[in-house]
Structure 1
Amino acid sequence: MEYQALYRAFRPQSFGEVVGQKHITQTLRNAIKRGKESHAYLFSGPRGTGKTSIAKIFAKALNCPNGLDGEPCNECHLCQTITDGSANDVIEIDAASNNGVDEIRNIRDRVKYAPSEAKFKVYIIDEVHMLTTGAFNALLKTLEEPPVHAIFILATTEPHKIPATIISRTQRFDFKAIELNEIVEHLKYVAENQSIEYEHEAIEYIARAAEGGMRDALSIFDQVIAYSGDKITLDDAVIITGGIKTEDLNEWMKLVETQNTKDAFLKYHQFIDEGKDPVRLVHELLYFLRDVILMKHSNQVDDNTAFVTLDDSVIYDLIEILNDSMVMMRYSVNVSVHLEVVIVKMVQALNKTEASTSSVSSDEIRRLESQIRALEAKLEDGKFTRPERKRPEKVRRNRNVFSVEKIKEVLDRANREDLEKLKAEWPNVYRKIEEMDNQPLRALVKESEPVAASETQVLIMFQSDVHSELINNDDEKKKELENLIPSIIGKEVRVVGVPESNWQQVRQEYIDKRRQGVKEEKKPSDVAKEIFDSSIIEIKE
């Protein structure tokens, strides 16, 4: 018998064999036992988490004449034909290659005929989000008035692309990423079944590299077996995945911790020369920092591990740098160079921390010591009173996400007419970007909204702090948007970005400052109405 890939050989054939997704398998088994099957289901979730496998098990359990407790027997003729894909009454369709109206109309014409062998005709449509608008409309008619003998199972990794009219006519099941320990246990079971020796660290590394997908885990495991032979080691797993061992990662991060930028660069280029993937390295760094935090809070500190002596706030800053870099690397032409910049940013973050801790002068230390002695004397005399706490500052600035000065510049000249015109035309701006197929700019503008406008400038609010930072600091992206807007609204303007998380506070501060400077005969409410859309202003005297 010819060799079969592990993800196919160990595909679950019953609900009990499914790894994870208990909230789904138990619901479907109970529905079969009680005879309360729905006419349509939507299975959504990450790749490799069991959507099509559970769909086929469900089709078998529905039609198996020897089924017990909601499980198929997997021995009868019907179960075996469904398993090998030859059953006439269980139809699997790949919507990625059969996404037109004609294919769905063909289903609609055939679905009215009764099943030939089974109790139910089951249609499994994989990657259903790939259907065209016309195909969705044709499918909608069938879902509205389905025959009693037909059941539809729609599987997708992108449920947000499916029309709400389709989703509302289905029972939706959201598949979750499979937990690390569940993947580890299953890989151990597969290794023992195949008589393969393994190192526990290698199995854990493969499970982590799969990022919650069992199919990915088995595929990587298959590759490592082909490379290693009869025994799987951690080194083999690292080579196959293009990752990096924890020891090497720790050595690299120690160079960053000691701010040895030159050697950190040399180490990084050594990894690249060995064929390591820069994106994969960022993932590994995030896991490393996560492990450092867990180590510190579980009182299992290894003094030889990088960053264990740092405050948690500094480690959080490093994690934020890596998270931002992952977003930026999606649009970067040269990800290797981008990671070099990340190394410099991490060193700078550590350098700032060191500078702030070492900036206290000897005079300051003496002054603090005298204050401590005075407080101790008050405690002894019983005259100690708690000092009044200072209120925190209104706006906490972090990173160069936005500029208050540039925002004030827009608001000083803002008027309602220009804002209303820009708001009305903003969907056309987004549509124009889609027509240009400019994906990076489309991602920036998608979650944005104009909040102020003048003859020469516009203020755009972004849901993401990262997007606001990009439009303010990336001259190329900013120029692309500024060149596009005149073709829609008929005049050239300069764009300024502000994050949604800070906008309300910045706006209120601006109004308060204007309120202090306006003349007595002019109400502050009139100032606010001049600048902002009056429909969103609530006046409280």
Structure 2
Amino acid sequence: MSYKALYRIYRPQDFNEVAGQKHITTTLKNALVNDKVAHAYLFSGPRGTGKTSIAKIFAKAVNCVKAPTENPCNECENCKGIQSGVISDIIEIDAASNNGVDEIREIRDKVKYLPGYVKYKVYIIDEVHMLSTGAFNALLKTLEEPPQHVIFILCTTEPQKIPLTIHSRCQRFDFKSITTKDIISKLKEIVELEKLNIEEEALAQIAIHAEGGLRDAISLLDQASSYSPEKITLDDVNQISGAVSAQMLIGLAEALVQGNSTKAIELLDALITEGKEVKKINMNLIEFFRDILMARNLRNLDENNYLYKDEQFIQLSKMISNKMTLYILDVLINAANEIKWSNSPKIYLELAFIKITDNEVSSSSRIISMIDDLENRLSEVEKIKEDVDNYKEKESENRILEIVNKAEETEEKDLLEDINIEEQQYEDELDEETPQEVFEKQLCDDIDETYSIEFVESILNNGDRQDKSILINKWNNISKTYSNDEEKYIAQILETGTVVASAVNKIIITFPSVSICNKLMNDSNKKFAINILARHYNRKIDFIALPDSVFTDITDEFKALWTQNKGGYINLSKIRCEGLVNVNKEVIENETETKPKIVTDALDLFGDIVKVKK
């Protein structure tokens, strides 16, 4: 057989050629130069990361004619003999097929004999975790005090299976998965030397598919060159690796996000017909939605991942929220666990698709979609705040101008002086406060009527942890407790909150959104909510809705005061605003025309500070 696999041809011959394990090669080179070679080493790490290659390089380096040296010369008779395998003093043993006591006893009996050709006998035991308990026990004494001419190098992918007594007798080196960047760099060297024609995207896909194993990457490149000798494309790599193409993944993801279960299952059938494994399809989808999360939340993305540059992928990542992406990932990961042990994996993936696209009222995907829609509407309302800021600033300037004109007309010097003072004070305030601060200050006026700190004090001072646990255990089913459409909407919003404190007949519920708190504390909505809670728990429960950040500040103050007072009734500071408003304050407007929905939402959220321009 004349052909030699690429991974064997391009196995590193010295430490400088090793990719991605600088922390190990540097340590070993320093030990060699300073003649601090240990008698036993344990190399552990994922497959294809260089454990056996480094062991052979080390064996050459300690026996090189030029030793002590940090690298074997690869020119002397010793280096060439070890490389070709003709020197019998370097013994490589596969523990998977030689794992019995007798094999290890044979090693123990032979180590006392001096090497025949070189300075050190080196035993490289691969997959050492496969040794039996008796074999490990037989190796212990020899490993602890071997003759001076013997070095043991144990290699394993599962170090947790090796007894601690073996660990303690070795210097351990942990090999890490090789980065995609380093794999691509090494593959480019091989491509250039072999004069292969391959697309950049195909090279990146090989590196990603290898999952940190350089040997796997080189083997896949070798296979791809045999499959398509003229030019290796991305589709070629996907065909031989069983991976799903980016375009097909985008199509599947769009169908799931849009709630089109029929199209998603049709695409799944097409992939299975092409020969793709269900397990691989599911894993590719998990990686795809993981990439969406990365694209949405990280600034520095992996430049080697070509998917981040795809325009369709970028548009899809903008369409979907973090909540929906995490929900889809949760469903797919659960499906992966079921697929692993099933004889009918396709069924579980189809069920996962249906669950993701479920559009029934009580389904999790529908609730998440409704919350996303609500947040989008609230973001539109936030835009009105800017108009309100500009309006209030302009109104204040007009008021000052009107007073000044009046003073000039009446020629009352005293009044004019007062006006000048007032004008100067107002200008100073404008210098100190931004329009946003002025807006927030006015929002904070008189919120105690809606957000009573006394109500919060009565709960925290009389907290009942057992009742809180009872409430939490049944909280996720609130959305099923309603009697009409208005209550259904309120029930779904309630379920997105968290019960953080209970005094049996009074509770505190927190939400991530300030606007949702204002919505729930409106009199009519709160009555609906109280009725829902009463039916769900068979007792009347009053509540206050607070943003997470506000409640965190309240609890911090409560704990500090409790520590200072060592018990007793705790009185707290008034609730700070952060966008909370007195939602039940009447809007004094004599407008009779019908207002657009976006305006009514703004009025509900911000009260009488909103002025609608004609």
User: TM-score band, normalised by the shorter chain?
Assistant: 0.5 to 0.7
C-alpha change, 1:381 and 1:104, in structure 2 (3 Å) is closer
- Give SS of 2:153's match: strand
Q: Alpha-carbon deviation of 1:325?
A: 2.7
C-alpha change, 1:384 and 1:193, in structure 2 (3 Å) is farther
The AA in structure 1 aligned to 2:96 is A
Contact 2:42/2:173 (CA < 8 Å) preserved in 1? yes
Post-superposition CA distance 1:385-444 (Å, at most 9, x none): 6957989997799999x99xxxxxxxxxxxxxxxxxxxxxxxxxxxxxxxxxxxxxxxxx
- Give SS of 2:43's match: strand
- Give SS of 1:308's match: helix
Rounded to whole Å, the distance in 2 between the matches of 1:397 and 1:194 is: 68
Contact 1:59/1:122 (CA < 8 Å) preserved in 2? yes
1:221 paired to 2:221: yes
- Give SS of 1:231's match: coil
The AA in structure 2 aligned to 1:326 is A
Identity percentage of aligned residues? 45
The AA in structure 1 aligned to 2:268 is Y
Q: 2:75 — aligned with what?
A: 75
C-alpha change, 1:166 and 1:377, in structure 2 (3 Å) is closer
The AA in structure 2 aligned to 1:345 is K
Q: Alpha-carbon deviation of 1:145?
A: 1.8
Post-superposition CA distance 1:346-373 (Å, at most 9, x none): 224533312445689x9xx99xx9xxx9
The AA in structure 2 aligned to 1:55 is A
C-alpha change, 1:193 and 1:259, in structure 2 (3 Å) is same
Max radius of gyration: which structure? Answer: 2
Q: Show the 5 A alignment for 1:284-433.
A: 284-297=284-297, 302=311, 305-348=315-358, 349-357=364-372, 379-380=441-442, 383=445
Contact 1:257/1:350 (CA < 8 Å) preserved in 2? no
Contact 2:31/2:37 (CA < 8 Å) preserved in 1? yes
Rounded to whole Å, the distance in 1 between the matches of 2:264 and 2:473 is: 24
C-alpha change, 1:396 and 1:161, in structure 2 (3 Å) is farther
Q: 2:519 — aligned with what?
A: none
Contact 1:259/1:351 (CA < 8 Å) preserved in 2? no
Consecutive unaligned residues of structure 1, counting only runs of 5 or more, are 404-541
C-alpha change, 1:102 and 1:225, in structure 2 (3 Å) is same
Contact 2:250/2:312 (CA < 8 Å) preserved in 1? no
Post-superposition CA distance 1:116-159 (Å, at most 9, x none): 12111100000111111110000001112211111100001111
Q: Alpha-carbon deviation of 1:180?
A: 0.4
Q: Alpha-carbon deviation of 1:323?
A: 2.6
Q: 1:10 — aligned with what?
A: 10
Post-superposition CA distance 1:171-198 (Å, at most 9, x none): 1111111000111111111111001111
Consecutive unaligned residues of structure 2, counting only runs of 5 or more, are 300-307, 359-363, 389-436, 478-614
Rounded to whole Å, the distance in 2 between the matches of 1:4 and 1:303 is: 42
Rounded to whole Å, the distance in 2 between the matches of 1:378 and 1:53 is: 66
Contact 1:63/1:118 (CA < 8 Å) preserved in 2? yes
Contact 1:123/1:153 (CA < 8 Å) preserved in 2? yes
Contact 1:14/1:71 (CA < 8 Å) preserved in 2? yes
Q: Show the 5 A alignment for 1:215-294.
A: 215-294=215-294
Q: Show the 5 A alignment for 1:59-208.
A: 59-67=59-67, 69-208=69-208
C-alpha change, 1:99 and 1:328, in structure 2 (3 Å) is same
C-alpha change, 1:286 and 1:147, in structure 2 (3 Å) is same
Once the two structures are overlaid, the 10-residue window that deviates more, 56-65 or 377-386, is 377-386
TM (norm. structure 1) is: 0.67
- Give SS of 1:119's match: coil
Once the two structures are overlaid, the 10-residue window that deviates more, 23-32 or 341-350, is 341-350
Rounded to whole Å, the distance in 1 between the matches of 2:286 and 2:472 is: 21
Q: Alpha-carbon deviation of 1:16?
A: 0.4
Q: How many residues align?
A: 396
Rounded to whole Å, the distance in 1 between the matches of 2:353 and 2:51 is: 40
Rounded to whole Å, the distance in 1 between the matches of 2:274 and 2:473 is: 34
Q: Alpha-carbon deviation of 1:309?
A: 2.0
Post-superposition CA distance 1:471-527 (Å, at most 9, x none): xxxxxxxxxxxxxxxxxxxxxxxxxxxxxxxxxxxxxxxxxxxxxxxxxxxxxxxxx
Rounded to whole Å, the distance in 2 between the matches of 1:378 and 1:191 is: 62
Once the two structures are overlaid, the 10-residue window that deviates more, 66-75 or 236-245, is 66-75
Q: 2:500 — aligned with what?
A: none
Contact 2:125/2:154 (CA < 8 Å) preserved in 1? yes
Rounded to whole Å, the distance in 2 between the matches of 1:95 and 1:268 is: 42
Contact 2:32/2:61 (CA < 8 Å) preserved in 1? yes
Q: Alpha-carbon deviation of 1:67?
A: 4.6
TM (norm. structure 2) is: 0.59
Contact 1:121/1:150 (CA < 8 Å) preserved in 2? yes
Rounded to whole Å, the distance in 2 between the matches of 1:13 and 1:354 is: 57
Contact 1:48/1:213 (CA < 8 Å) preserved in 2? yes
Contact 1:67/1:73 (CA < 8 Å) preserved in 2? no
The AA in structure 1 aligned to 2:143 is L
Rounded to whole Å, the distance in 1 between the matches of 2:90 and 2:295 is: 51
Q: 1:26 — aligned with what?
A: 26
- Give SS of 1:165's match: helix
Q: Alpha-carbon deviation of 1:169?
A: 0.5
- Give SS of 1:37's match: coil
Q: CA RMSD in A?
A: 3.5
- Give SS of 1:155's match: strand
Rounded to whole Å, the distance in 1 between the matches of 2:42 and 2:327 is: 40
C-alpha change, 1:29 and 1:376, in structure 2 (3 Å) is closer
